Structure 1
């Protein structure tokens, strides 16, 4: 499996933390040297491991925000 390179450009916030110390975070990340995208995933402490996640462009993030704002929660 090929190495995946990433650079967390901006840590935007933590949504939750598990009992094992993993955190669900929203960050702006550059994957393999490409333009940074918004990324929501679980991270081990110190970002040494990661879980599966969702990566969104700015337009997709704006659409998600619009959808969430429309929910009655």
Structure 2
């Protein structure tokens, strides 16, 4: 990813887990570089100023992921 970019968490959807340092793996709607928000899974520091590597998904991809997860026997 480029060094200069902007982001805005437009909606927090849920926290998947939190580590001992307070960083949380979250599912959010994030607008990158003022574009339309997408689903985003990544780790964030407690103040949402620093982030770890993550994955950004379109709605269609989230629907496919949901279908795959629903088919698993957990």
Please classify the TM superposition score into its range, dividing by the shorter chain length.
over 0.9
**Aligned residue number for residue 45 of structure 1:** 46
Structure 1 residue runs of 4 or more that deviate by more than 3 Å after TM superposition:
none
- How many residue pairs get aligned? The number is 73
Alignment of 1:1-73 (within 5 A): 2-73=3-74
**Secondary structure in 1 aligned to 2:43?**
strand
Gap runs ≥5 in structure 2: none
Write out per-residue CA displacement over residues 7-52 of structure 1, whole angstroms, 9 at most, x where no aligned residue. Answer: 1000000000000000000000000011110000000111010000
**Secondary structure in 2 aligned to 1:11?**
strand
Whole-Å separation in 2 of the counterparts to 1:55 and 1:37: 6
RMSD: 0.8
Whole-Å separation in 2 of the counterparts to 1:14 and 1:43: 10
**Secondary structure in 2 aligned to 1:67?**
helix
